[in-house]
Amino acid sequence: MAQRSAYFIPTNSPWPMVGCVGIFCTLFGAAHWLNHSHGIGQPLFYAGIAVLLFMMFGWFRSVIHESLKGNYNDQVDTSFRMGMMWFIFSEVMFFGAFFGALFYARILSVPWIGGEGHGILTNAYLWPQYSPAWPTNGPANIGGDFQPMGAWGLALLNTVLLLTSSVTVTIAHHALRSGHRGRLKVFLALTFILGALFVYSQANEYAEAYEHLNLTLQSGIYGSTFFLLTGFHGCHVIIGTTMLIVIWIRVMKGHFDKDNHFAFEAVAWYWHFVDVVWLNLFVFVYVL
Amino acid sequence: MAHAATIDHHEDHGAPKGFVRRWLMSTNHKDIGTMYLIFSCTMFFIGGTFAMLIRGELFEPGLQLMQPVFFNELTTMHGLIMIFGAIMPAFVGLGNWMIPMMVGAGDMALPRMNNWSFWLLPVAFIVLLSTFLLPSGAPAGGWTMYPPLTLQMGDTVAFLIFFVHIAGISSIMGAINIIATILNMRAPGMDLLKMPIFVWSWLITAFLLLAVLPVLAGAVTMLLTDKYFGTSFFNAAGGGDPVMYQHIFWFFGHPEVYIMILPAFGIVSEIVPTFSRKPLFGYKAMVYALACIAFLSFMVWAHHMFTVGLPVGAELFFMYATMLIAVPTGVKIFNWVATMWRGSLSFETPMLFALAFVVLFTLGGFSGIMLALVPADFQYQDTYFVVAHFHYVLVTGSAFAIMAAVYYWLPKWSGNMYSERMGKIHFWISVISVNVLYFPQHFLGLAGMPRRIPDYNVAFADFNMISSIGGFVFGAAQLLLVYNVIHCVYFARKRATERVWEGAHGLEWTVPSPAPHHTFAMPPVIEDSQLAHGDTTH
Amino acid sequence: MKSAGITRWTKAALAMATALFATAAWANPEAWQMTMPEGVTQSSHEVYNLFLISFWVCVGIGIVVYGVMVIAMIRFRKSKGAVAEKWSHNAKLETIWTIIPVLILAGLAWPASGVLTKMADTTDSAMTIKVTGYQWLWRYDYIDYMGKQVDKVGFVSRLAKSSNLARQLDSSHSPWDVKSKSGYHTYLLNVDKPLVLPVGVKIRFLITGGDVIHSWWVPDLGWKMDAIPGIVNAAWTEIKKPGIYRGQCAELCGKDHSAMPIVVKAVPKAQFNRWLAAHESDATLDKVSRTAKAPDGKAKTAGHQG
Ligand code: HEA
Ligand code: HEA
Ligand code: CUA
Ligand SMILES: [Cu+2]
């Protein structure tokens, strides 16, 4: 709760504006690009991304400066923490939508199309030849025959990678708290290396899927859920890894101390969140 | 600690000079709140102009003004603009202005992000409105964006979906900011159960926003991949299901409608006690009712889908859950009435709008309960009865509450009193014409007129003509609102006192009018006597 | 249409009165109609009663709530020198007005649940019709009747010419001139081929969509059911008295959503049998299709099926 020290209110900042320009270019560009492979869309999109990166750089820079100047009181710190926590919560809900789709398809719509219970007429009159199964690309065999992605190959490896990485990040955190900066640097580095490795083998998995399994985005509901869930998770791993690298650089620069390292914790939380999402993915997308 | 820096930053309480610095780069909750309100009003007029075109086409049978496709575009854009552009930003604007003042905070918890939340809205709506310029035209699949129809639209789909994403990001950041402000920036003495109900209503609304907007983002993202990347989420041939979209959409959609009414409840809970000069009846019950409504709103979504052929069990469950919501909502209505009972009532414009809210929202709630009865909904679904229902809860509900709030707090914002006479004129024209506009739509729906149609059988002619006339008058009347606000801010002579209203209680009424650019540099020390709900025996 | 206008408005008052007091059962939409049609099936009657009950319940609650408000506004106004009291809660009252609504709602939910379960039960029907919605027309296929398969009886049902002419932007034909022989205004409610059904038979409908979602709705039958591509929904009806019952597509389906009406022609059994026999022998009708194939032969897709 608020203690009686003066409120901290940042002075006017240009970065939100830059952010708006960035988001506008990115998504307006993306929209054009989706509709016409040529034209302004693509360049606009990349320009937007660049502006967004510039925005983050500048925005975080000013925040870091203020924090190093010691402008922040505990209240600001708490605000940042709450901000990050609830942001992660909204991310959870975002993944919730896709898990929801997965469960709905597996538990309800696929069996119905296959003629179970409520869907008996649907099956009899529209898809008589279809019997429910998972994985499936639907009665129309959309995208052609395919093989599902196995759980005990790359997926398992990825699970191991991510699990270890969240161990290493925790070790790094303890090292930071107990002021062992050497250990901190090493384990933080380990963490983002593991993250990068994950991204790498995920990429291999996709290549495998497209080249050998004929498992693509077009492979009916299985392909759809598989690629969107793993894909969005992958994006989050990439973001998380980048953040870890940034934090690592700051550590090398000697930022953070025992009791003042919110940025570090925020990234750690995010990394654990990415990890938990993966565990659910592994269980519900690969194993079951 | 180098607090010196922050403190002498607070030495000057004036607004920064220069348009760009003050508005585009603002970190001030009052300026940002003002921008939200101006933006909302602009969108209300754009969406309203579309509505006028809709009512114009429906003025009589046969096509007079436009081709059906354009009509569908107008309907779709009207819905999207009014919901995401007019109502939601208005509440965020009011929250920005009042929450920090009400809890004794210096500003919002994350002022820079606050600025970003706002400026993303114009971006979002540029993306959306730009679709009118596309060869494929604006989206015409309804604000609910059901597949497969929406997937038939051309290039516009991508723009529509990215609009939703940007608006969503904006709202999510806004919600995070409000939560952090309320949970972390309250001055000592402002315990949770002493907060004004408006603050409570926003706290709960913010959680709803955080929980459902990402889900909407997910739903439209699946639309995007279905259209552009050949996925089969909503295509039965690929093992998906068009109905699945509706489930995900309405999991967002129903809480969304409460997002648009809970802050309104909060506003009315501030205004009714003030002009009854009597403390709010059942403060705690009001808070629990809000929480209860929010909780229930997650388990009623399928009442928008009673005709898609759900299993009976599901329809029964969603019917019961939906009806339950009448109970906490009833508690609120009854408590407002009880607050008036044995009070000392006066009827300034904010009170008039608040009372109209209580009466007409309740009426909209009644039609809601009728809709909740599944077999009856088989008849009502997708007719003008539904249109009447949601305009009663949205226009005479949300929009009236917003107008009440504007009249109620304007003196605190501007330091001037608006013209009570003009306010009353605006109220009476609005409240009469709005019923001429929407009440006949109940009859049209019952008689069998479907919604989202540009043309209809002549049996529906008379009530449509009446409704349109009401619509034009109501629309024109809103110009008075704008006039009143501008007149109050720039030309009014009558200065407002600190307390403004005789019966007003709470921290926000102890600061000068107009409130200084930075209300509190230090957390104020709050005595319970200053608060409306300071007496914890309530 | 001007003159028509005047007479319409004069008729208005009277029509309103009937609408309000007599529980007038409209066959098809009428000018100034203010209530739900009672319809011509058991279900539609029960639905109509649910509507009435819930309506009057709400009126009752409204009278109480608004009544108290009005009294408060009259008795406790400052201008009349009312002084505010200080109390701000009363546990007993609050529990009462939490409990009472629960009871009222239970009272509403009970009959509703009964009606719903009955309407959902499509078993032991004596006839099956497959309804497929397309942009922007309906296709009807007679699947079976009295236990035996019907063959080669199926057709599409489009908006009638007269309406189609009148509905064009700045058309020279007035909607007011589109009338049935009986003089009923059928603008946007008439088709080239109505769906012919027997009365007194429990008919099961299998409803699906060929391209986007539509919704098959005839108010006099008491329900609507969405026609969803790739999904088959079932519903049933048993029409009590012969007549012509009109409805419309009730789910936004694009450009001509307002122009794909439904007309059901309910005839006595004997007459229906003759009609069916005639059409079964008639080879000119296009083939029954049990899959969602478009009427014009070229394969429109349920989703991207095919
Ligand atoms: C502010 C927005 C808002 C609010 C608050 C509500 C409130 C309610 N709504 Fe509404 N609704 C919409 C906005 C809203 N709605 C919109 C936009 C749509 C259409 C979406 C679209 O398709 O485009 C819609 C559609 C809609 C449908 C789907 C109709 C259809 O398409 O077939 C249903 C069905 O159950 C429904 C029910 C309800 C109920 C039961 C409530 C309840 O919360 C109402 C509770 C309140 C009261 C009941 C009155 C006060 C209570 C008392 C005085 C106590 C005593 C009363 C009783 C015991 C009855 N609404
Ligand atoms: C969220 C809030 C909201 C608000 C405030 C409104 C406000 C209004 N709405 Fe809207 N409406 C919706 C939300 C809202 N609506 C939604 C969600 C839908 C469903 C969309 C869908 O089906 O997908 C809908 C659909 C809808 C329909 C059904 C369309 C259809 O099914 O085809 C109609 C038809 O009458 C309508 C009318 C109006 C009117 C006349 C107003 C009036 O209150 C507007 C009054 C305001 C103004 C007019 C602007 C101010 C004044 C001026 C601009 C000056 C110029 C005025 C004149 C020249 C007279 N609305
Ligand atoms: Cu078919 Cu609307
Ligand atoms: Cu709802």
**With contact defined as beta carbons under 8 Å apart, do B344 and B277 qualify?**
yes
Bridge partners, C198 (sequence order): C267
Phi first, then psi: what are they for A275, rounded to 5°? -65, -45
**With contact defined as beta carbons under 8 Å apart, do A278 and A234 qualify?**
no
Give chain A's mean pLDDT: 93
- Return the structure tokens found at B394: 């949205």
d(CA C155, CA C142): 9
Pairing of β C127-134 and β C203-209: parallel
What are the helix (H) ranges across chain A? 15-35, 41-69, 74-103, 110-113, 120-125, 154-177, 181-208, 220-252, 262-281
pLDDT surpasses 50 at A1: no
Asked if A7 and B6 come within 8 Å (Cβ–Cβ), the reply is: yes
Predicted confidence band of residue A241 (pLDDT cuts 50, 70, 90) = very high
**With contact defined as beta carbons under 8 Å apart, do B155 and B133 qualify?**
no
Q: Which helix (H) or strand (E) holds C131?
A: strand C127-134
pLDDT surpasses 50 at C293: no
Phi first, then psi: what are they for C245, rounded to 5°? -120, 125
Look at residue A260 in the predicted model and tell me its pLDDT.
83
Predicted confidence band of residue C178 (pLDDT cuts 50, 70, 90) = very high
The residue-averaged pLDDT of A228-251 equals 95
Q: Which of B250, B390, B438 to mutate to test the pocket of ligand 1 (most atoms within 8 A of CB)?
A: B390
Amino acid letter, residue B263: P
Q: Does C278 touch chain B (CB under 8 A)?
A: no
The answer to pTM > 0.90 is: yes
- Return the structure tokens found at A58: 């500048």
**With contact defined as beta carbons under 8 Å apart, do A229 and A151 qualify?**
no
**What percentage of chain A carries pLDDT values higher than 70?**
99
Q: At what angle do helices B326-340 and B312-324 cross, to 10 degrees?
A: 10
Tokens 């000013």 sit at which residue? A62
Asked if C302 and A126 come within 8 Å (Cβ–Cβ), the reply is: yes
Bridge partners, C207 (sequence order): C131, C233
Span B208-231, pLDDT tens digits: 999 999 999 999 999 999 999 999
Ligand 3: lining residues by beta carbon, under 6 Å = C 133, 136, 214, 249, 251-253, 257, 260
d(CA B441, CA B467): 7
Residue B227 is a catalytic residue: no
Bridge partners, B450 (sequence order): B383
Question: Given the CA of residue B322, which atom of ligand 1 is nearest to it?
Answer: 40
Residue B256 is a catalytic residue: yes
Residues whose CB is less than 8 angstroms from the CB of residue B193 and which lie 6 or more positions away in sequence, other chains included? B283, B284, B287, B533, B536
Please tell me whether residue C247 adopts helix, strand or coil conformation.
strand
The DSSP result for B123-157, as a single string, is HHHHHHHGGGGSTT-S--STTTT-TTHHHHS-THH
Please tell me whether residue C206 adopts helix, strand or coil conformation.
strand
Phi first, then psi: what are they for B15, rounded to 5°? -80, 145
The DSSP result for B157-226, as a single string, is HHHHHHHHHHHHHHHHHHHHHHHHHHHH-PPTT--GGGS-HHHHHHHHHHHHHHHHHHHHHHHHHHHHHH
Span A164-216, pLDDT tens digits: 999 999 999 999 999 899 999 999 999 999 999 999 999 999 999 999 999 99
Amino acid letter, residue A206: Y
Rounded-to-10 torsion of CA B217, B218, B223, B228: 100
Residue A250 has, within 13 A of its CA and on its CB side, a CA count of 22
CA B333 to chain CA centroid, Å, is 19
d(CA C166, CA B40): 40
pLDDT surpasses 80 at C258: yes
Of residues C9, C113, C212, nearest to B316 (C-beta): C113
Span B8-47, pLDDT tens digits: 334 445 777 788 888 999 999 999 999 999 999 999 999 9
ipTM: 0.93
For chain A, give the number of residues. 288
Please tell me whether residue B233 adopts helix, strand or coil conformation.
coil
Look at residue C8 in the predicted model and tell me its pLDDT.
57
Q: At what angle do helices A262-281 and A74-103 cross, to 10 degrees?
A: 10
Chains that touch B (3 or more CB pairs under 8 A): A, C
d(CA B485, CA B407): 8
Q: Tell me A8's DSSP state.
A: P
Nearest CA to ligand 2 atom 38: B51
Identify the CA nearest to B488 among candidates B409, B428, B385. Answer: B409
d(CA B486, CA B495): 15
Q: How far is C130 from chain A (nearest CA, A)?
A: 9
Identify the CA nearest to B295 among candidates B332, B269, B328, B264. Answer: B328
Residue B451 is a catalytic residue: yes
Chains that touch C (3 or more CB pairs under 8 A): A, B
d(CA A193, CA A245): 9
Asked if A125 and C230 come within 8 Å (Cβ–Cβ), the reply is: no
CA of C251 to the centre of ligand 3 (A): 5
Look at residue A190 in the predicted model and tell me its pLDDT.
96
Span C140-164, pLDDT tens digits: 999 999 988 887 789 999 999 999 9
Ligand 1: lining residues by beta carbon, under 6 Å = B 144, 257, 260-261, 303-304, 322, 325-326, 329-330, 333, 362, 365-366, 368-369, 371-372, 377, 380-382, 386, 389-390, 393-394, 397-398; C 61, 65, 101, 104-105
Look at residue C12 in the predicted model and tell me its pLDDT.
55
- Return the structure tokens found at B211: 């929980």
Look at residue B5 in the predicted model and tell me its pLDDT.
31
Give chain C's mean pLDDT: 86
d(CA B268, CA C124): 54
Question: Given the CA of residue C248, which atom of ligand 3 is nearest to it?
Answer: 2
* Count of Cβ atoms closer than 10 Å to residue C74 Cβ: 10
Tens of each residue's pLDDT in chain B, 538 residues: 223 333 333 444 577 778 888 899 999 999 999 999 999 999 999 999 999 999 999 999 999 999 999 999 999 999 999 999 999 999 999 999 999 999 999 999 999 999 999 999 999 999 999 999 999 899 999 999 999 999 999 899 999 999 999 999 999 999 999 999 999 999 988 999 999 999 999 999 999 999 999 999 999 999 999 999 999 999 999 999 999 999 999 999 999 999 999 999 999 999 999 999 999 999 999 999 999 999 999 999 999 999 999 999 999 999 999 999 999 999 999 999 999 999 999 999 999 999 999 999 999 999 999 999 999 999 999 999 999 999 999 999 999 999 999 999 999 999 999 999 999 999 999 999 999 999 999 999 999 999 999 999 999 999 999 999 999 999 999 999 999 999 999 999 899 999 999 999 999 999 998 999 988 888 888 888 888 887 766 4
Identify the CA nearest to B250 among candidates C211, C113, A104, A174. Answer: A104
Q: Exposed e or buried b for every residue in B512-521, given b needs 16+ CB within 10 A?
A: ebbbeebbbb
Identify the CA nearest to A98 among candidates A256, A267, A227, A238. Answer: A227
- Report in angstroms the alpha-carbon separations of A42 from A28, A245, B123, B131, C168: 10, 28, 19, 19, 42
Sign of CA dihedral B183, B188, B192, B194: negative
Residue B191 is a catalytic residue: no
Q: Tell me A148's DSSP state.
A: P
d(CA A159, CA A274): 11
Considering every ligand atom shown, identify the ligand nearest to the alpha carbon of residue C211 and give its number. Answer: 3
Q: Which of A129-143, B357-371, C193-207 has the lowest mean pLDDT?
A: A129-143
Residue B170 is a catalytic residue: yes
Q: Which helix (H) or strand (E) holds C138?
A: strand C137-145
Of residues B69, B237, B460, nearest to C302 (C-beta): B237
Please tell me whether residue C135 adopts helix, strand or coil conformation.
coil
**With contact defined as beta carbons under 8 Å apart, do B405 and B472 qualify?**
no
Amino acid letter, residue B328: P
Cα A142–Cα A144–Cα A149 angle in degrees, nearest 5: 100
The residue-averaged pLDDT of C43-47 equals 96
Q: Which helix (H) or strand (E) holds C203?
A: strand C203-209
Span C74-117, pLDDT tens digits: 999 999 988 988 888 889 999 999 999 999 999 999 999 999 99
* Count of Cβ atoms closer than 10 Å to residue B4 Cβ: 10
Contacts of B233 in chain A (CB under 8 A): 101, 221, 224-225
Asked if A94 and B176 come within 8 Å (Cβ–Cβ), the reply is: no
